[in-house]
């Protein structure tokens, strides 16, 4: 249960249960108890506890004293002492609804939600409660039980509209001719069409939605959908579209560590034609660290099928270790994309990756976001055109501003650079993208 929910439960219990007469408050004429209750009411629970704690050995078993001690201990963080004191009250006065409501609250604060639920339901079932109070407690009970189930279903999403200029929309070499070893006697071959670099303005729209459905306090189902449309102005051959769907289940331990399993499917279109489909299985373990940081270990298998180039059909296996802090993200990974046909062996590769990202807040509304990544690919056989195996090292860098211009409305100017260094000239290229996007989150 969240801190906010516990605070709401505490306020609701105090307001509701105070609506009917209670023996402890009415009988609290002892000077120490009166002083402690006054301090507690003034928000000085620790001082109230300091007044009562030295008297516990002599006065434990007195309902009025134990009730006041339980209140003070609960709200000064002494959950074990509070439960013990309130249990003594209920041992003598099992029908004391206020003491039972308070012990339910303390159990919840201590993390024992099952016992808290039992105690709270007992309070509601008390036939001596006036109907107005019962209605208020029933309302609290509904909210309380929702928290016990892990909360309510949550839906979130975004729409992102972006426009800009891409200096190399087809990720091609800037060379206008190359020499192919197998045809060297013919001299350099002239490149044309999509085989040489082309710059284009572009427009892009992305939208996504995600849903979390709690199955219990620690387990949830999650699903998401992501859509992309990218239009290269002037040449539809480089228009792109993609749809990605994910469905999974996640379990979080009491210590905050999470294990998840998910299935993911993606369809990708190029030039308004089906180009590639992939279907993945993803497993991840996330370990919570201090200050909300997290360390994650993920493994993924993907089956990749190309619509018109079956030689490139492949099975992809990757593993990643990542660290996420409040302002820094870092990850390293490795894997292999193995083509399923022996004739396409030169299209498969082993890979290693590294990523680093950071966000530096400048004001409450403005931050600078930067990222660096590197990927090395070692291809599995000699390229038929060059008679040699391909080796690529791709470096990506990006820098952007993130400006919150309204609630959940973000403006982002961005520049990115890509350098793919390949031993085969046809695959060696540079790329710069400059863009401006606006993003609405909900």
Q: How far is the C-alpha of 215 from the C-alpha of 341, rounded, in Å?
A: 43
- What pLDDT is recorded for position 191? 66
The answer to whether 17 and 97 are in contact (CB under 8 A) is yes
- What pLDDT is recorded for position 14? 46
Within 8 A by CB and 6+ apart from 94, the residues are none
- What pLDDT is recorded for position 1? 43
Taking the model in full, what pTM does it have?
0.70
CA 343 remoteness from chain centre: 41
Q: How far is the C-alpha of 258 from the C-alpha of 222, rounded, in Å?
A: 13
Q: How far is the C-alpha of 403 from the C-alpha of 136, rounded, in Å?
A: 43
- What pLDDT is recorded for position 254? 76
pLDDT along the chain (442 residues), means of 10: 46 45 45 89 91 90 91 91 92 85 84 75 74 67 66 90 94 70 60 75 96 89 96 86 97 88 97 95 93 92 95 96 93 97 94 96 95 96 88 97 94 97 92 97 92
**Phi, psi (deg, nearest 5) at residue 91:** -65, -35
Query: What are 55's two structure tokens?
Result: 């008297």
Query: What are 371's two structure tokens?
Result: 């990222």
- What pLDDT is recorded for position 10? 47
- What pLDDT is recorded for position 22? 40
Residue 274's DSSP bridge partners are 269
Instruction: Tell me which DSSP letter residue 20 carries.
Output: S
CATH numbers and ranges of domains, the chain: 3-148 (1.25.40.10), 155-441 (2.40.160)
Instruction: Tell me which DSSP letter residue 379 carries.
Output: E
Within 8 A by CB and 6+ apart from 390, the residues are 346, 349, 377, 379, 383, 422, 423, 424, 427
């Amino acid at each position: 249960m969240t801190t906010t929910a516990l605070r709401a439960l505490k306020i609701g219990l105090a307001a509701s249960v105070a609506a009917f007469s209670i023996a402890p408050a009415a009988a609290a004429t002892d000077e120490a108890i009166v002083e402690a209750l006054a301090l507690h009411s003034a928000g000085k629970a620790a001082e109230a506890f300091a007044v009562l704690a030295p008297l516990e050995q002599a006065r434990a078993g007195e309902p009025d004293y134990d009730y006041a001690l339980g209140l003070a201990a609960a709200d000064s963080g002494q959950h074990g002492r509070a439960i013990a004191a309130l249990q003594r009250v209920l041992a003598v006065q099992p029908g004391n609804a206020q003491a039972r409501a308070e012990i339910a609250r303390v159990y919840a604060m201590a993390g024992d939600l099952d016992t808290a639920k039992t105690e709270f339901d007992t309070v509601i079932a008390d036939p001596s409660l006036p109907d107005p109070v019962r209605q208020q407690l029933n309302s609290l009970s509904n909210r309380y039980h929702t928290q016990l189930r892990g909360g309510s279903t949550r839906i979130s999403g975004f729409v992102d509209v972006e426009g800009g200029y891409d200096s190399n929309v087809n990720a091609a070499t800037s060379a206008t001719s190359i020499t192919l070893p197998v045809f060297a006697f013919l001299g350099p071959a002239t490149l044309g069409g999509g085989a040489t670099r082309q710059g284009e303005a572009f427009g892009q729209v992305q939208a996504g939605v995600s849903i979390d459905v709690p199955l219990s306090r620690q387990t949830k189902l999650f699903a998401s959908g992501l859509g992309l449309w990218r239009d290269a102005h002037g040449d539809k051959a480089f228009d792109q579209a993609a749809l990605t769907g994910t469905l999974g289940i996640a379990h979080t331990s009491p210590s905050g560590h999470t294990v998840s399993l998910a299935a993911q499917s993606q369809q990708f279109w190029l030039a308004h034609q089906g180009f590639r489909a992939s279907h993945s299985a993803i497993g991840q373990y996330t370990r919570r660290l201090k200050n909300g940081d997290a360390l994650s270990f993920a493994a993924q298998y993907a089956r990749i099928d190309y619509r018109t180039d079956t030689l490139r059909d492949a099975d992809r296996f990757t593993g990643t270790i990542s660290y996420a802090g409040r302002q820094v993200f870092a990850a390293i990974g490795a894997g292999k994309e193995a083509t399923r046909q022996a004739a396409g062996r030169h299209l498969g590769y082993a890979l290693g990756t590294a990523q680093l990202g950071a966000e530096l807040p400048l004001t409450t509304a403005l931050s600078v976001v930067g990222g660096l990544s590197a990927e090395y690919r070692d291809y599995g056989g000699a390229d038929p055109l060059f008679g040699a195996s391909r080796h690529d090292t791709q470096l990506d860098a990006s820098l952007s501003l993130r400006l919150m211009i309204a609630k959940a409305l973000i403006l982002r100017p961005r520049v990115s650079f890509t350098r793919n260094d390949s031993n085969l000239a046809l695959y060696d290229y540079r790329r710069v993208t400059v863009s401006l996007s606006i993003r609405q989150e909900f």
